[in-house]
Structure 1
């Protein structure tokens, strides 16, 4: 399992796609984005256009743990992105966010094939001014720490350049 973190437009998704494409296909892409407006729908279309067959896209905006568990054994899986999943859960007012995070972590730990997780590093900026934004930043930071602890590799992508935080740089 590889956790790929980075800021907006850092190159993290392209880097993660390259990690998956280095594995034998077909590849599964678990998409967490939802097209709430025209701009977001255009972003989703742009991402999909970058992934022709043998990519298979599965929409998993909320039940990401199940989507990971349902991936065929041995098939490389890319999750993009965890912070959108967390946003969806928080805006959906998940009854027990901690239990959902626990389920996601366990699904990642038990993944039946190569798994690459993409997420936005949001903890490098100022303290947000409102309670929801502070909670989101805190929840994302805790999620990243838990996943990094069980990951084989953790990578921070800055300006398109991967910085290996954990694991074998040659892998």
Structure 2
């Protein structure tokens, strides 16, 4: 159960991270106010979180509408937990919400926020799995096919480290 909870949480984290980072990048690039940028990041976190969970279901032969219905039931609480915690951390780190994409503070804060969100959502996913909810629903629907989250997680970590390296490089040059 613990391994499955970690896998479910990593899967959720991946979608949330892609949406969060994309939303913050888009909002920042467009010069949006912090609140609008945060709203976009949260919306995209749900879109990417749901989409990443629906993809294996569709690949397993489940109709798109049915897949999204399963995903809404399976992932909403986990994604919501991650989003509340992730954004709370970003708002609590002094200067993080005002930091630009070229600022090391943005990347360090984002990494911290995603890490804290992972540990906040892990017990939520464990709870859901014990009750046959959450990713247990999608796991059952795909015939217990295992999800390999490593490529996506490595991609997110690489992206965060790349952003941090670019920000530090711009300061040093």
TM-score tier, shorter chain, comes to under 0.3
Scaled by the length of structure 1, the TM-score of the pair is 0.27
Between structure 1 and structure 2, the one with the greater Rg is: 2
Name which structure has the greater RCO, CA cutoff 8 Å, separation 6+. Answer: 1
User: Would you tell me which structure has more strand in proportion to its own residues?
Assistant: 1
